[in-house]
A and B are shown apart, each in its own frame.
Chain A
């Protein structure tokens, strides 16, 4: 029996009861088949179990397949012919597990069978991917409180025939042997550079731990691990001739990571947060060349699939989810705060998650950039240091105009986000990094790709002079009065 009055004297009788919010728009019958009763509500629409599976498959292949061919063949869908193999970035989490299953069901299960529906170019008729790898990045060596989950990951992947696991360890980013293997070249000589890139740590675990200890905030630690993981996946994909990487980022995770990235100054690269085209720094590309030269396309095929839908998929398809590794950091990070906020907001303002992703999808970077950050290898804006010094004065002696051209200083090669990650402190930070001078303490170890790029940039500057293009030979000589006069002689009047 409903009470007429809740007893709160501040509220008038008759206005107490709030009408119950409907969870779905129309009826309980599935909106797709209009026959079966619904089993799940997805953003106010009701779906039965039978229609749910094809719905998710549709979202998956619509988000991935237009980007499989190296050059788009236009609006009419043709054969899917990727240039290389496929690499699945697998964290063990919910989205990754769903992605693994979808890739298997779509491209591996029942391939070549004549009994199933689909046209001549349907993926089930002919194998799309000649090879599918699954790459997992283990972090337990850096955080002793965590356990090594490689065996569990291997067991989860073993259920899928034809997937080859490539286990990578996070400290490989600082491992010269790993670098020589993926880049096909020798690791750089770091001696003689104008700033210290190593604290003498030749052992990768120690090098990475030194790097992490120097970071000023817990947010910086998680941000760094995310960057290292992304680059490890990209370089691993390149080393196995994979043309595509797919990640299991769901719509919910994507929205959270977009807001988190924007909160850390990553506005210039938000389009890359949705989809990215990357090539290693040591690959030369010619403008206008449309052939594949090892570029890797990073796609997020679950970007239209929410967390709730992923959970339903796991439940109905009885998948094994190992779970994502939780990094032990002492305090809440920007990522944690963003996740709690967005998920909380979704309760009172539904569609917030999809609105964020759609809104950011309509944005583009302001201005061009052909330069990439040495640390995250994403496009970087010009004059970042000048902007920072103008808006936040940290010294009365720094010259803003020289900051962006000081090529012997590490900040010159960093994007806004990475510079902020390395330097921005909280009230309780104890780690301090001075990136503007050499012989700074503590030393900053950099991952191999960053150290290589810096050695190339700075090594070539030192041999030919700052500002000079690396491959040209310059000769300088001082002009005397006679030499200068000969250049302007024809313009001089007789009495000069």
Chain B
């Protein structure tokens, strides 16, 4: 059978089947469409302005490594005028972060970007290994996610940046939409497809890879010969998100456009007005000043629970009320 020509340029030989569209295309066209789609995402959403200081959340994994490369490429090609930094978080998970932090340090040299590393140990006094030994393997993603979010904000604040960009890809966003529907988390459902989020006292964050398929990010890294660490968190298999991810992979196998279709669905709906009115308003945490819809932010609740030997109390509303009462007693 004669080799197929690239469906886009019609000139070169097609060497890959694009996961998102199923088209048979050449390497050069793949780079072009991948980068152009990210550029479209950035320009359509007006993510940056010239002179912005932007921190790239870097874990050493494929998403953030490719993100750093693509941001640098597009910044040079389209003259965004950005000052780029790498920002990494050490969660204190033995065997998980050691190699990936080395990768981030190599990225710093390769892309010539300043690097800052913040750790859970120095910010909170707890590593994830210690947290998991206290709470077991359920709900640990809640702790890690909350702690990481604040850690990134605090690290970015230390760098004096205007915005954080993270490597959240289309697969992440699609599984978040499904997860929030299945768990009834309407607060997050209303925000999870937003490309850019910002609240009071919080640094703006955006997701340039919002429409980029995970498989295409891997393919891009492969063809560009980019170095990254491919290690899954050892606590991940027990997570609820893992179930949603497995379902999403099945959907993608049945119809590859399912991932982008779910994102489109998530963008197409919003909370009913009467439901929005019942959502809690945001104000500052009394513990650390971070943005919160409660007296204490979630990180402070989780830490309070850990310190008092009630590690999972903060997961429930009743537990949080009890912790708040104890915290109030302690601080008055």
- B227 at the binding interface (Cβ < 8 Å): no
Asked if B256 and A426 sit within 8 Å, CB to CB, the answer is yes
Task: State the majority secondary structure of interface residues on B.
Answer: helix
Q: In the complex, what residues of B have CB within 8 A of residue A262's CB?
A: 177-178, 181, 262, 265-266
- A424 at the binding interface (Cβ < 8 Å): yes
Q: Using a CB-CB cutoff of 8 Å, which residues 243-265 of chain B contact chain A?
A: 243, 247, 250-251, 253-258, 260-262, 264-265
In chain A, what residue has the closest Cβ to B266?
A: A267
CB distance from A266 to the nearest CB of B (A): 6
CB distance from A156 to the nearest CB of B (A): 33
- B55 at the binding interface (Cβ < 8 Å): no
Q: In the complex, what residues of B have CB within 8 A of residue A270's CB?
A: 265, 269
For the complex, give the distance between the alpha carbons of A267 and B177 in Å.
11
In chain B, what residue has the closest Cβ to A354?
A: B184
- A390 at the binding interface (Cβ < 8 Å): yes
Contact with A along B30-42 (1 / 0, CB 8 A): 0011001100110
- A331 at the binding interface (Cβ < 8 Å): yes
Asked if A341 and B272 sit within 8 Å, CB to CB, the answer is no
Interface locus among A30-38, A355-363, A477-485: A355-363
Q: In the complex, what residues of A have CB within 8 A of residue B298's CB?
A: none
Asked if A341 and B247 sit within 8 Å, CB to CB, the answer is yes
Asked if A268 and B186 sit within 8 Å, CB to CB, the answer is no
Contact with A along B255-296 (1 / 0, CB 8 A): 111101110111111111101000000000000000000000
CB distance from B179 to the nearest CB of A (A): 11
For the complex, give the distance between the alpha carbons of A270 and B240 in Å.
24
Asked if B254 and A362 sit within 8 Å, CB to CB, the answer is no
For the complex, give the distance between the alpha carbons of A337 and B248 in Å.
10
- A219 at the binding interface (Cβ < 8 Å): yes
Asked if B255 and A334 sit within 8 Å, CB to CB, the answer is yes
- B95 at the binding interface (Cβ < 8 Å): no
Contact with A along B1-45 (1 / 0, CB 8 A): 000000011000000010011110000000011001100110010
- A177 at the binding interface (Cβ < 8 Å): no
- From known contacts A360-B181, A391-B211, infer whether A331 and B254 are also in contact, taking CB-CB under 8 Å: yes
- From known contacts A341-B247, A352-B182, A360-B181, infer whether A394 and B270 are also in contact, taking CB-CB under 8 Å: no
Q: In the complex, what residues of B have CB within 8 A of residue A5's CB?
A: none
Q: Which of B21, B180, B258 contacts A263 (CB 8 A)?
A: B258
For the complex, give the distance between the alpha carbons of A358 and B185 in Å.
11
- From known contacts A263-B261, A345-B182, infer whether A426 and B268 are also in contact, taking CB-CB under 8 Å: no
- A416 at the binding interface (Cβ < 8 Å): yes
Asked if B272 and A365 sit within 8 Å, CB to CB, the answer is no
- A425 at the binding interface (Cβ < 8 Å): yes
In chain B, what residue has the closest Cβ to A220?
A: B255
Asked if B255 and A426 sit within 8 Å, CB to CB, the answer is yes
Q: In the complex, what residues of B have CB within 8 A of residue A218's CB?
A: 254
Asked if B271 and A364 sit within 8 Å, CB to CB, the answer is yes
Q: Which of B23, B40, B260, B271 contacts A363 (CB 8 A)?
A: B271
- A236 at the binding interface (Cβ < 8 Å): no
For the complex, give the distance between the alpha carbons of A262 and B176 in Å.
13
In chain B, what residue has the closest Cβ to A421?
A: B255
Asked if B251 and A424 sit within 8 Å, CB to CB, the answer is no
Q: Which of B9, B255, B271 contacts A424 (CB 8 A)?
A: B255
Asked if B262 and A263 sit within 8 Å, CB to CB, the answer is yes
In chain B, what residue has the closest Cβ to A429?
A: B22
- A427 at the binding interface (Cβ < 8 Å): yes
Q: In the complex, what residues of A have CB within 8 A of residue B21's CB?
A: 392, 394
In chain A, what residue has the closest Cβ to B254?
A: A334
CB distance from A269 to the nearest CB of B (A): 8
Asked if A341 and B265 sit within 8 Å, CB to CB, the answer is no
For the complex, give the distance between the alpha carbons of A364 and B271 in Å.
6
In chain B, what residue has the closest Cβ to A425?
A: B22
CB distance from B28 to the nearest CB of A (A): 12
Q: In the complex, what residues of B have CB within 8 A of residue A263's CB?
A: 178, 251, 258, 261-262, 265
- B225 at the binding interface (Cβ < 8 Å): no
- A333 at the binding interface (Cβ < 8 Å): yes
CB distance from A255 to the nearest CB of B (A): 9
CB distance from B190 to the nearest CB of A (A): 9
Asked if B254 and A259 sit within 8 Å, CB to CB, the answer is no
For the complex, give the distance between the alpha carbons of A390 and B269 in Å.
20
For the complex, give the distance between the alpha carbons of A265 and B182 in Å.
17
Q: In the complex, what residues of B have CB within 8 A of residue A355's CB?
A: 182-184
Contact with A along B94-112 (1 / 0, CB 8 A): 0000000000000000000
- A393 at the binding interface (Cβ < 8 Å): yes
Q: In the complex, what residues of B have CB within 8 A of residue A349's CB?
A: 182, 240
- A292 at the binding interface (Cβ < 8 Å): no
- From known contacts A267-B265, A359-B181, A360-B181, infer whether A396 and B271 are also in contact, taking CB-CB under 8 Å: no
Q: In the complex, what residues of B have CB within 8 A of residue A267's CB?
A: 264-269
Q: Which of A332, A334, A345, A366 contacts B269 (CB 8 A)?
A: A366
Contact with B along A400-439 (1 / 0, CB 8 A): 0000000000000000100010001111010000000000
Q: List 6 A-B contacts (CB under 8 A).
A: A259-B181, A263-B261, A264-B261, A334-B254, A363-B189, A396-B8
9 closest residue pairs by CB, A with B:
A267-B265, A265-B261, A267-B268, A268-B268, A424-B257, A391-B211, A355-B184, A262-B265, A363-B269
Binding site for B on A (CB under 8 A): 217-219, 258-259, 261-268, 270, 331-334, 337-338, 341, 345, 349, 352, 355-356, 358-360, 362-366, 381, 387, 390-396, 416, 420, 424-427, 429
A219-B254, A259-B182 given; name 7 further pairs at CB < 8 Å.
A334-B251, A359-B189, A360-B181, A363-B189, A365-B269, A416-B268, A424-B256
